[in-house]
Amino acid sequence: MRAVACGALLVLWGCTGGMAEEPVVTSSSSRELAGAFYSVGYGLAAQLEELDLTEEELAHVLRGFSDGARKARPEFDLTTERVRIAGLLRSRQEVRADRERAKVETEKALGLAVLDKAVEEGAERVESGLVFQELVPGTGDSPAGSDRVKVSYRGTLLDGTEFDSSEKRGGPLEYPLYASIRCWQDGLRRMKVGGRARLLCPSELGYGDRGRPPMIPGGAVLVFEVELLDVLKPQSH
């Protein structure tokens, strides 16, 4: 990401050329072309995301881009500024990384409090850290790691935001148990066919410090309500 962002910034600052007071629109412009060129600009902006530009800084970037695109004489010594760009990018990335780490730690602390409260209210914390709450006991088989399972489920964050469900996917999901996140592997092994359970998954058993943006933040506890519909044993050959 650093190389991409730095490269994009060098492109914006490294061109030479002139600045027009008004955008140039040629007779060949069309709605389709406008969308294409708009997408170019939007893509460049995404590459500069790590700089966390203020409105004032963005105005400077746009002025440099406009001058470069129109081959105006640059206002600054571009060779000197390339050195400044590298240092600026490093410092902004460090600030951004510190901010993201702080958010993850806050999310984890909030999650730990919720997990502890659930245990106090009668849920079971297993060795891996999963907090397991049986809602409806099952009477059938329990799955092994090599089995396929058929489940209905709903996944939410602690604030109730739904990020996934079997209903959204068109109905019950069938998949090899070993292919799921660790939380599901540990939780479903404790269930029997016909049973329903709530799985409270610390981030270490889910998607870790990275999360799955934009729906699941880093460090998030995941809450799943799962119904185990069937266990399909692997076929022997």
Q: Which of these is catalytic: 153, 159, 175, 186?
A: 153
Distances (CA, A) of 183 to 68, 171, 226: 52, 21, 12
DSSP conformation class of 128: T
Active-site pick, 65, 181, 209, 230: 181
Question: Among this protein's residues, is 42 annotated catalytic?
Answer: no
**Omega of the bond prior to 213 within 30 degrees of 0, cis?**
no
37 a catalytic residue: no
Q: For residue 32, with 0-12 CB atoms within 10 Å meaning exposed, 13-18 middle and 19 or more buried, which class applies?
A: exposed
Active site residue 153: yes
132 is catalytic: no
**Do 234 and 149 meet the contact criterion of CB atoms below 8 Å apart?**
no
CA angle 25, 26, 32 (to 5 degrees): 80
User: Catalytic annotation on 181?
Assistant: yes
The catalytically annotated residue of 141, 164, 209, 230 is: 164
Which residue type does 1 have? M
Q: Respond yes or no: is residue 67 known to be catalytic.
A: no
Catalytic residue chosen out of the listed positions 65, 141, 163, 230: 163
Q: How far apart are CA 81 and CA 11, in angstroms?
A: 12
Catalytic residue among 132, 147, 186, 207: 207
Cα–Cα distance measured from residue 230 to residue 141, given in angstroms and rounded to the nearest whole number? 8
- CA neighbor of 213 nearest in space, from 157, 168, 138, 151: 157
Residue numbers annotated as active site: 153, 163-164, 181, 207, 224
